[in-house]
Structure 1
C-alpha cells in the first residue's frame, strides 16, 4: 500500500513538472508563475468564502444537537481543495478547482460517506485518538 502511494506521488510530481515546463514554454515563465499565483489566491478566496457558510451550517447542526457529519466532510473537502490549489502545479490546480465546485464536492462527500459506512459495516475502519483515560 505504501509503495503504491509513493509511486503515485512520484508520477504526479513528474507529470506536474512536465506540464509546468510545457506551459512555461508556451506562454513564458513569468506568465506561468503569475497563473500559479492567481490560482492559489483564487483558491484561498474561495475557501474563505465557502468555508464561512459551512461553519454556519456546522454551528446550526451543533445548536440543534445534531452531529454535523455531511458538513464536516464538506469542510474537509473544501480545505483539501484549497490545499491542492496552494500546491504549485496545474494538475493539482485543476483537481482543487473541481473540488471547490459545490456539485462536485457534494458528490465527493457522498462517495466518502459511502466508503466510511462500508468500512464501518465491515469492521475495517480504525480510529486512533490521543485521549488517555484517568485511572
Structure 2
C-alpha cells in the first residue's frame, strides 16, 4: 500500500512543477509577463488573507463543538485543508493556486472533506 502512495507522491513532485512552468510560460505569452507575475503574487497575498479569515472561522466552529461536548471531526479536517490550501496559494503556479482556492472556500472544500473522511475510514479505520 505504501509503495503505491510513494509512487504517486514522487510522480506529483516531478510532474506538477513541469506542468506549472509550462502553464506559466503559456499564460505569460498570452497575457504578458507582468500580468502573469501579478496573478502569481496576488494569489500568494490572497492565500495569506484567506488563511487568516478561514482559519479563524474553522477554529471558532471547532471551539463551539468542543464546548458542546462533541469532537470537532469536520473542523479538524477543514483546518488541515485550509492550511494546505493556503500553502498551495503561496506556492507559485496556477495549478497549485486553483487547488488552493478549492480548498479554502467552504462550498468547494466540502466535497474534498467528504473524500478525506472516506479515505480515513477506509485506510486508517477510524470512525470520523
Quickly name the TM-score band, shorter chain normalised. 0.7 to 0.9
Q: Which runs of 5+ in 2 are unaligned?
A: none
- 1:74 corresponds to: 78
Q: Distance in 2 between matches of 1:40 and 1:68?
A: 29
- 2:58 corresponds to: 54
The 5-angstrom pairing of residues 42-121 of structure 1 reads 42-121=46-125
Alpha carbon RMSD of aligned pairs, Å? 1.6
Count of aligned residue pairs for this structure pair: 122
CA deviation profile, 1:13-69 (whole Å, cap 9, x unmatched): 110011111111222222211111111111221221121111111111222222111
Is 1:31 the counterpart of 2:31? The answer is no
Instruction: Note closer, same or farther for the CA distance 1:62–1:45 as it changes in structure 2 (3 Å cut).
Output: same
Q: Distance in 2 between matches of 1:100 and 1:4?
A: 23
Instruction: Note closer, same or farther for the CA distance 1:3–1:112 as it changes in structure 2 (3 Å cut).
Output: closer
Runs of 4+ in 1 over 3 A off after TM superposition: none
Q: Which runs of 5+ in 1 are unaligned?
A: 123-135
Larger Rg: 1
Is 1:6 the counterpart of 2:30? The answer is no
What is the deviation of 1:94? 0.9
| Paired residue secondary structure (2:45) | helix
TM-score, structure 1 length as denominator? 0.82
Q: Distance in 2 between matches of 1:103 and 1:6?
A: 30
Give the structure with the higher percent helix. Answer: 2
